[in-house]
Structure 1
């Protein structure tokens, strides 16, 4: 029997496409990692994902939920939420997007929210999933919104946790930054810079030792031999993607039942770091953005966590998941 790698190589030869294997990154994931192999933009790629079965069928026994990670996150960071959802009766699909974590890191790829949503939809089709809940955090929330707009027939419920894209940063004055400069920024990323950023935005200037696991996870990707520079380039492309592809003008088009879960102390805004002070002052006000956004979405609810930042699911897991499951039970 031919191996998957050999089959990909043969297909690539026929199509004139390159083969970009899955990452060699050995970070342990909580469930077995599977790979969806497909051809995209003249490359044969592997998209890593975990498929977590429902551990309890008392609740929503035939329902599926897809979890979409943010830019500084991986599928593994959803472990707590995925376990709780499985116990609540959901089949949980947790994917690493192309360019991230255990998935292929192509040296040349046009990153767009539409492309990543298309890839995710193709994964679900390969698993014969016809309808799903979609939960996204940070960049993953921006991607989840684009997914719901592109595939309303499959997206029954949309859950956004401190999503990016609630405002158009370019229109508010954030200067464009070319990919070479973004790449240079990514190349100097280290533990100190990541912790400083996460402490200021994710956890509202507090820090607990358990947060280090996610910083170290990300640092290991920037230090991965043979892949670190490609990963840094992919992250620069992802930054350009979220800065230049706003979704703020399309919330009124969402057809799914929607929940916004907002840590109101969050101040995340792509490009804030290189913006003039007068622009910085008006960006990332999630206490206001959550209210403005829920008013735009036809069938939406808002839950705000007054003392929490960009990662409420980590900072106060019990409070976050209580709000999530209360809504899931009501909306079902």
Structure 2
């Protein structure tokens, strides 16, 4: 996984005799993640949105032996197109053309200073890229916030989606309705300015990886922390704040019964993600982010949905157990 950059991304180096050096200085990546290498060539989609020119980075990987189908991968809030590397390689080997995007406001894409982030807008941007690439009825795979986006996309463009795959999507519950207190954009912004590698690593260990940290996850911590440590950190933090506001104010759970495309849910059972959970009263936190219950409820609410559960995995099953996840994904999309 990104072997070419591992050496420069790891935060600690081993010294002779088993001693450890001090942590290396955190990289400072540009506002469009300049300086962080992706495992595939990055292409750019130029678009005009909300009266401003923007660019959306994406990966387009064509298989050696195409099966005529395309998979579109939609990343989560703290993820990028590059974090799908294992899935891209497995899907391509199975004959699928694979498109992986960095949404506006994320990773290697534009960070507009003034933008009304909505799931509809991100879906429209994604649909515009599909039109440009001539892709019709792809298999849409969305993880975390990308799962929430994928659900909105399927509701907006039901005839333009062949299959829908939701990987530990957020938005399976309405946090505000459950009592999570409102948070202003300014409050989100101040929180994002304090992002650190240690805080990212601790959160991801507890939530993404079910309490089990491995060194192979470190590049993704450095990717996020370096982006928030770079010369455009204020722009990155501001867009992140706007995106958090979008997530908590646009629940999609109530519209699950309207989804009219074949849907597969891939749910790590040790996930406990709930945006703003740390802001909720202590007595309320334990009831939030219960993915064993939320996954079953979503499968019941979405007509004809199929549910595959990963008992020992957390919020990022595609990264914790890529081999097992890839097998389940490819088998799951083989026959809608």
- Return the TM-score normalized by structure 2: 0.89
2:177 aligns with: 171
Assess, with a 3 A threshold, how the Cα gap between structure 1 residues 24 and 167 changes in structure 2: closer, same or farther. Answer: closer
**1:43 counterpart = 2:43:** no
Aligned residues: 307
Aligned partner of residue 186 in structure 2, secondary structure: helix
**1:102 counterpart = 2:108:** yes
2:37 aligns with: 28
Partners of 1:203 and 1:315 within 8 A in 2: yes
**1:141 counterpart = 2:147:** yes
Deviation at 1:298, TM superposition (A): 0.8
2:268 aligns with: 263
Aligned partner of residue 153 in structure 1, secondary structure: helix
**Comparing both chains, which one has the higher relative contact order based on Cα–Cα distances under 8 Å and sequence gaps of 6 or more?**
2
Structure 1 residues 203-282: aligned runs within 5 Å: 203-225=209-231, 227-282=232-287
Q: Which runs of structure 1 show a deviation greater than 2 angstroms over 4 or more consecutive aligned residues?
A: 21-24
Partners of 1:69 and 1:136 within 8 A in 2: yes
Between the aligned partners of 1:207 and 1:69, the Cα distance in structure 2 is 21
1:131 aligns with: 137
1:298 aligns with: 303
Between the aligned partners of 1:25 and 1:321, the Cα distance in structure 2 is 29
Deviation at 1:22, TM superposition (A): 8.4
Between the aligned partners of 2:98 and 2:292, the Cα distance in structure 1 is 30
Between the aligned partners of 1:170 and 1:22, the Cα distance in structure 2 is 31
Select 1:315's aligned residue among 314, 320, 331: 320
Aligned partner of residue 162 in structure 2, secondary structure: strand
Partners of 1:25 and 1:224 within 8 A in 2: no
Is there any run of 5+ residues in structure 2 with no aligned partner, and where? 1-29
Aligned partner of residue 249 in structure 1, secondary structure: helix
Deviation at 1:26, TM superposition (A): 2.4
Render the CA deviation track for 1:254-278: whole Å, top value 9, x for unaligned: 1111100000110000010111012
Aligned partner of residue 278 in structure 1, secondary structure: helix
Aligned partner of residue 92 in structure 1, secondary structure: strand
Deviation at 1:54, TM superposition (A): 1.7
Between the aligned partners of 2:83 and 2:33, the Cα distance in structure 1 is 18
Partners of 2:33 and 2:107 within 8 A in 1: no
Partners of 1:36 and 1:47 within 8 A in 2: yes
Between the aligned partners of 1:308 and 1:118, the Cα distance in structure 2 is 32
2:8 aligns with: none
2:15 aligns with: none
2:193 aligns with: 187
Aligned partner of residue 158 in structure 2, secondary structure: coil
Assess, with a 3 A threshold, how the Cα gap between structure 1 residues 87 and 288 changes in structure 2: closer, same or farther. Answer: same
Select 1:76's aligned residue among 69, 76, 82: 82
